[in-house]
Amino acid sequence: METFFSEMENPEVVVTSCSSHEDEKFNSYKRRISVSQELLLEDQMKRKLKFFFMNPCEKFGARGRKPWKLGIQIFKIAMVTIQLVFFGLSNQMVVAFKEENTIAFKHLFLKGFTDGMDDTYAVYTQTDVYDQIFFAIHQFLRLHSMSVGNHAYEKKGAKESIMAICQHFYRRGSIWPGNDTFDIDPEIETDCFYVEPMQPLSNWTQDGNKFNLTLDFHRLLTVELKFKLKAINLQTVRHHELPDCYDFTLTIIFDNKAHSGRIKISLVNDITIKECKDWHVAGSIQKNTHYMMIFDALVILTCLASLVLCIRSVIKGFQLQREFVNFFLFHFKKEVSVNDQMEFIDGWYILIIISDVLTIIGSVLKMEIQAKSLTSYDVCSIFLGTSTMLVWLGVIRYLGFFQKYNLLILTLQAALPNVIRFCCCAAMIYLGYCFCGWIVLGPYHVKFRSLNMVSECLFSLINGDDMFATFAKMQQKSYLVWLFSRIYLYSFISLFIYMVLSLFIALITDTYETIKHHQEDGFPESELHAFIAECKDLPNSGRYRLNDKTPESIFCCCPKMSK
């Protein structure tokens, strides 16, 4: 009996499974429990639940437990944010170098190109097509004496990379538009020839067709000029980072698939970042790299500590949930509702766990990038950016313990189910307008050329952006389509701005007013919180402190008897 009382007095409970023989032993214990013992056990459960739902400050007053998770989260915010800023500055240099090189290549290899001509750059005569092709070849051959950047040909052994000029055309095609007749074989064939960088320019002039290039424009689909160049991003040296080596795979495309008399020209730059093979930089750049890697390692250790503590708290929540369910079933012959059971699962901890995992992965990728073993800047930025966002969101959990800061969290939590249901219904109407706008207005309006563009345009209209331009850019080549566009746009704007959006705002506003009213008059209590409210012990009463004995459970079907 002394062992039994010692087990009851200990508030830490562990639920285990057992055999049928041990169930019989437990049933005999239940029969011997007196009323006073049941009251004592119930009081212990209330106290344990009340301690579980305390905020860090109250737990410190109750048991002297230091708020390690809170301290680590604050420290982690500072560390992760500093890490993100450093990586963001480095990533900006990488992206800027890519974009500036792409612009430079367009000016170097596209004749007469000026900024802003990407969508309108095209040729309309056969002579212009040949001139553009020969101009790009000529610029490629004289790259060393022309480019102001540190661009060079790719070397494979003693040889340098070549330029491939390929034309894709129908196998056979005889077209007589005047007679409305044609004879065509749609099978596509490809014909290529190659230009070596070391080929002397004296054997070829831009006015003469040395390569004997002949294009059958009736059958021609595309002409592609493909070549590789290399460069080194030296601007990172000024920021105490080791430079990266870049491979640019350039493709100049002459698109004649429409056979409309307008051949669109575009330059596509496929960029690969590699580790430089042999390098030497004078100064302390190598030391700075080591310091940054040490800092990243410290971030990883901090996130690991946060991860372990949060996982531990989630597991304790599950254990206490199972214990409370068994307690309620045994004492009150009732099952705990699903909503009350979900109270033990802290979604904020799960959010912090996800952010810690993403931060650890992003930090490892960042260290590999700094060591020049990887060049996945975009992947690393996604991990670090998402993790930093979740870290900052996770801090809201601790603000939620204070009533004045808790209004936003409670409003979002209460409104979320209704908002999701409302958005699902509104999405059906939105998708219907998207498909209708794409199929009807797409050929006549630049903002409706693809489903993605239609969705972006309609979402902008909901927010009141660019309304006049959307109406004005509608072509009036077809009066029927123009009239339909007016009915389409007016009905969409009226429906979503004046009805759907207003209902959406009213839904959240109503929830906000309900939460505000509950904060003034008190929230409706569930069975769980009503049960906890019966415990009147204050956090600093000393009733929550643990005994020195090992915690055990009165609900364990396999009670640990003292030897």
**16: DSSP letter:** -
DSSP line for 143-162: -TTT-SS--EE-EETTEE--
pLDDT at 506 > cutoff 70: yes
Residue 445: Cβ within 10 Å count = 22
Residue 429 CA to residue 114 CA, distance in Å, equals 43
Token readout for 208 is 């003469």
pLDDT at 80 > cutoff 90: yes
Residue 544 CA to residue 50 CA, distance in Å, equals 9
The pLDDT of residue 22: 47
Structure confidence by residue, pLDDT tens digits, 163-177: 999 999 998 878 888
Residue 173 CA to residue 195 CA, distance in Å, equals 28
The pLDDT of residue 199: 60
Where on the phi/psi map is residue 466: left (φ > 0), alpha (ψ -120 to 50), or beta? left
The pLDDT of residue 538: 73
Structure confidence by residue, pLDDT tens digits, 90-118: 888 888 899 999 999 999 999 988 888 88
Task: With beta carbons less than 8 A apart as the criterion, state whether 225 and 255 touch.
Answer: no
Query: Closest Cα partner for 393 from 29, 153, 76?
Result: 76
Section 220-245 average pLDDT: 85
Residue 420 CA to residue 381 CA, distance in Å, equals 29
Structure confidence by residue, pLDDT tens digits, 34-53: 666 767 777 778 778 878 87
Structure confidence by residue, pLDDT tens digits, 132-166: 999 999 999 888 888 888 888 888 776 778 899 99
The pLDDT of residue 276: 77
Tokens 């062992």 -> residue: 3
Query: Closest Cα partner for 163 from 142, 188, 193, 189?
Result: 193
CA 239 to each of CA 88, 165, 174, 312, 361: distance values in angstroms, whole numbers, following the listed order = 13, 40, 61, 41, 24
Global confidence as pTM: 0.73
More confident residue, 516 or 122: 122
Query: Closest Cα partner for 501 from 511, 513, 493, 490?
Result: 493
The domain ranges of the chain are: 68-88+287-401, 110-196+213-275, 409-532
Task: With beta carbons less than 8 A apart as the criterion, state whether 141 and 219 touch.
Answer: no
pLDDT at 310 > cutoff 60: yes
